[in-house]
């Protein structure tokens, strides 16, 4: 495995890579990094693929634009197009987890000529809502349920990242714990925040690291987010309504390339994104795999690397 920095058209991108062969691009989510894919990079390289896992825009050692609007879905997909080109390739299979999954789905939706197949983890494809932008709809759902604000709504505030920046180690430890499959019922996050609390305060103070997270691996995340902060990563969320306005041309468009979706049975994200799992086959018309991994939580490629690697290679080898 090697780390390097590549200058693409509009961004300096830091990548982790290994292997030679067909290109597989691995896109991380929040709050992760390219190193979240180490187990997959190793397995793919051994199987005869060129695996590349970038630190995404605003994360780690990749460029961090200041303007909130520079984190739109068009920028994120464009970064991946630029990266494929900078690697000397014309096509690849794209894999995405958490926020990386919507980026991967949209890579396949917008540029099927380049992204010849897509493998999503944890977050299913969510088609554009024709009735209006997403954040007012989220607020209405939260009000109806009476559970407080969905954290995504809270992330719209201009200072939403401040609570994370104040103590990155505590914030990261709590987030990894609250969305892990080994965390007991009642201590996992629901994603909803009661009035007067923050996303971090809803998670128990005695939250330990998940079983799969070594102190050394955790220190890599703490170092990265302590140095770069959380503003860029949270800016991804602040573009949800802008993304809606920028993608009117994609309304009702289907994903036609071969696709797969894998989710952990105990992934808390299913509380608010799971409704899209049942209809995924209608929007991804060549859906070849849809698997729920028993007992797994949200950090599925790190929690269950053997299962994810097996499913990913089965999908790739069937293309």
Residues belonging to the active site: 98, 298
Beta-strand (E) ranges in the chain?
Answer: 2-7, 12-18, 23-27, 50-54, 92-97, 115-121, 149-150, 192-193, 259-264, 287-293
Rounded Cα distance, 147 and 194, in Å: 6
DSSP state of 255: B
Structure tokens at 235: 């800016």
C-alpha 313/C-alpha 67 separation (Å) is 38
Q: What angle do CA 50, 54, 55 make, to 5 degrees?
A: 160
Sign of the dihedral through C-alpha 192, 195, 198, 204: negative
């Amino acid at each position: 495995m090697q780390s390097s920095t590549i200058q693409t058209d509009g961004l300096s991108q830091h990548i982790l890579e290994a292997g030679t062969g067909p290109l597989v691009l691995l896109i991380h989510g929040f709050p992760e990094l390219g190193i979240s894919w180490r187990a997959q990079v190793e397995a793919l390289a051994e199987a005869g693929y060129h695996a590349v896992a970038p630190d995404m825009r605003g994360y780690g050692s990749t460029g961090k634009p200041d303007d909130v609007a520079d984190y739109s879905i068009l920028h994120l997909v464009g970064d991946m197009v630029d990266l494929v080109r900078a690697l000397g390739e014309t096509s690849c299979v794209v894999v995405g987890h958490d926020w990386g999954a919507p980026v991967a789905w949209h890579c396949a939706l917008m540029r099927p000529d380049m992204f010849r197949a897509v493998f999503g983890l944890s977050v299913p494809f969510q088609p554009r809502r024709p009735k209006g932008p997403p954040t007012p709809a989220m607020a209405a759902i939260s009000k109806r349920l009476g559970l407080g604000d969905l954290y995504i709504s809270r992330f719209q505030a201009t200072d939403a990242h401040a609570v994370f920046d104040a103590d990155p180690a505590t914030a990261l430890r709590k987030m990894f714990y609250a969305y892990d499959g080994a965390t007991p019922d009642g201590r996992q996050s629901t994603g909803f925040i009661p009035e007067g609390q923050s996303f971090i305060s809803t998670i128990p103070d005695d939250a330990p690291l998940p079983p799969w997270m070594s102190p050394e691996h955790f220190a890599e995340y703490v170092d990265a987010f302590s140095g770069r902060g959380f503003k860029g990563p949270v800016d991804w969320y602040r573009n949800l309504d802008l993304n809606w306005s920028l993608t009117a041309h994609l309304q009702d468009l289907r994903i036609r390339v071969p696709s797969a979706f894998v989710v952990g049975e105990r992934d808390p994200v299913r509380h608010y994104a799971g409704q899209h799992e049942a209809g995924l086959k209608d929007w991804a018309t060549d859906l070849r795999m849809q698997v729920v991994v028993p007992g797994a939580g949200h950090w599925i490629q790190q929690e269950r690397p053997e299962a994810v690697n097996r499913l990913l290679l089965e999908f790739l080898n069937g293309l």
